């Protein structure tokens, strides 16, 4: 009978296979994959390094390590990724949640809390996440606020991505309306931005005051923002395994954001916030674009933990 492999031997095997392909986070990758195979946490692996694993688990582990050696992202191999302290299901139809995007969640939470503190006659918040993918941004926001006076919407053009977002919402017990469409189309086309102080469409008459909902709109958007030039320089695991349509935008990476800003202008939203994640090299261009399309809005750009310009906050 074949001798069973110990946990520490399995990790050493993974080191040889993964590091040989120039991947440097081999130990973390191996831990995550072995934890997934054994259905144990990483602390278990460190506590019981001489624990033997079954031959079946060993074969499964070797297959998954072979996939990682071909530079397939670990998150795709195990089917989930931690983001803002929560675990999210992901697949090939969604972007893998990035640590830098957690900044958008944190800032949105802070602004929502500040909105509740400053406004005695609190308006309901309508939070719209555009290009939601796995749904990690709105779900993480909702899980970390106590404000019940908020309606959540998430939009994505991909039905497959919305299926994953729906599973994540159910997993974290978050009530959210999922809409399949591009950008703010569901709100623009169906006039869901009602005539009010915030939004006054020119093509429709004003509704009686008692029929006008009073919402404070917050829009979060992590849309495709890589230019083709930047995408070509991206790591192989990004280019080969993540959806290209969720990464690349024309006009130097800013076409999607231009269209979104033009929709906000068309909707005449007079009050609210917009959060956009950008590439640091786009700082000056996005500022000029905002000034051109929304000349009365105030834009602030915040740096991520690496000191790079990453998050745009627009006050309408």
Q: Are residues 12 and 157 in the same domain?
A: no
Per-residue pLDDT of the chain (316 residues; tens, 9 = 90+): 466 899 999 999 999 999 888 887 888 999 999 999 999 999 999 999 999 999 999 999 999 999 999 999 999 999 999 999 999 999 999 999 999 999 999 999 999 988 765 555 557 899 999 999 999 999 999 999 987 789 999 999 999 999 999 999 999 999 999 999 999 998 887 655 544 333 333 344 343 333 335 688 999 999 988 877 777 666 655 667 777 777 888 998 999 999 999 999 988 887 899 999 999 999 999 999 999 999 999 999 999 988 999 999 999 9
Domain harbouring 261, CATH code: 3.40.50.150
Which token pair is 10?
């399995």
Q: State the virtual CA torsion across 263, 298, 316, 99 in degrees, nearest 10.
A: 70
Please report the DSSP string for 153-212 in residue order: EEEES-HHHHHHHHHHHHHTT---EEEESSTTHHHHHTT-S-SSSSB--SSSPPPPGGG-
Residue 77 lies in a domain: no
Residue 274 lies in a domain: yes
Q: Are residues 66 and 106 in the same domain?
A: no
Angle at 100 between CA 96 and CA 106, to 5 degrees: 110
Q: Are residues 107 and 158 in the same domain?
A: yes
Q: How far is CA 310 from CA 34, 102, 295, in A?
A: 34, 11, 21
Domain count of the fold of the chain: 2
Residue 64, number of CB atoms within 10 A of its CB: 22
Cα atoms found within 13 Å of the Cα of residue 253, Cβ hemisphere only: 22
Q: Are residues 59 and 141 in the same domain?
A: no
Q: Are residues 29 and 173 in the same domain?
A: no
Domain limit, last residue, from 50, 70, 90:
70
Residue 242 lies in a domain: yes
Residue 24 lies in a domain: yes
Q: Are residues 194 and 110 in the same domain?
A: yes
Residue 89 lies in a domain: no
CA 59 – CA 57 distance, rounded (Å): 5
What DSSP designation does 135 have?
S
Q: In which element (H, E) is residue 114 found?
A: helix 102-118
Q: Are residues 190 and 280 in the same domain?
A: yes
Residue 88 lies in a domain: no
Domain harbouring 52, CATH code: 1.10.8.10
Q: What are phi and psi of 63, to 5 degrees?
A: -65, -40
Residue 276 lies in a domain: yes
Structural domain for 14, as ranges? 5-70
Which token pair is 149?
């006076």
Residue 293 lies in a domain: yes
Beta strands in 231-308 (DSSP E): 273-277, 298-303
């Amino acid at each position: 009978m074949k001798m069973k492999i110990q946990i520490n031997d399995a990790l050493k095997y993974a080191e040889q296979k993964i590091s040989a392909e120039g991947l440097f986070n081999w130990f973390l990758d191996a831990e995550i994959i072995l934890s997934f195979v054994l259905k144990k946490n990483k602390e278990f692996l460190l506590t019981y390094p001489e624990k033997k694993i079954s031959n079946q688990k060993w074969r499964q582990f070797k297959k998954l390590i072979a996939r990682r050696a071909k530079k397939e992202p670990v998150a795709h191999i195990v089917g989930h990724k931690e983001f803002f302290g929560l675990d999210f299901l992901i697949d090939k139809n969604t972007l893998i949640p990035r640590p830098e995007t957690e900044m958008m969640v944190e800032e949105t939470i802070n602004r929502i809390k500040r909105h509740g503190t400053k406004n005695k006659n609190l308006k309901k918040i309508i939070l719209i996440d555009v290009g939601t993918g796995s749904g990690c941004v709105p779900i993480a926001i909702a899980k970390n606020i106590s404000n019940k006076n908020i309606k959540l919407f998430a939009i994505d053009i991909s039905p497959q991505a919305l299926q994953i977002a729906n599973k994540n919402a159910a997993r974290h017990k978050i009530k959210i309306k999922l809409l399949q469409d591009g950008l703010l189309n569901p709100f623009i086309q169906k006039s869901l931005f009602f005539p009010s102080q915030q939004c006054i469409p020119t093509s429709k008459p004003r509704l009686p005051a008692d029929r006008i909902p009073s919402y404070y709109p917050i829009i979060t958007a992590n849309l495709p923002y890589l230019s083709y030039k930047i995408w070509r320089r991206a790591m192989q695991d990004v280019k080969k395994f993540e959806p290209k349509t969720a990464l690349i935008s024309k006009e130097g990476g800013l076409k999607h954001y231009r269209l979104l800003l033009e929709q906000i202008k068309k909707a005449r939203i007079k009050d609210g916030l917009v959060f956009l994640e950008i590439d640091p090299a786009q700082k000056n261009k996005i500022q000029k674009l905002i000034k051109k399309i929304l000349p009365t809005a105030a834009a602030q750009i915040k740096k991520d933990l690496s000191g790079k310009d990453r998050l745009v906050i627009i006050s309408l």
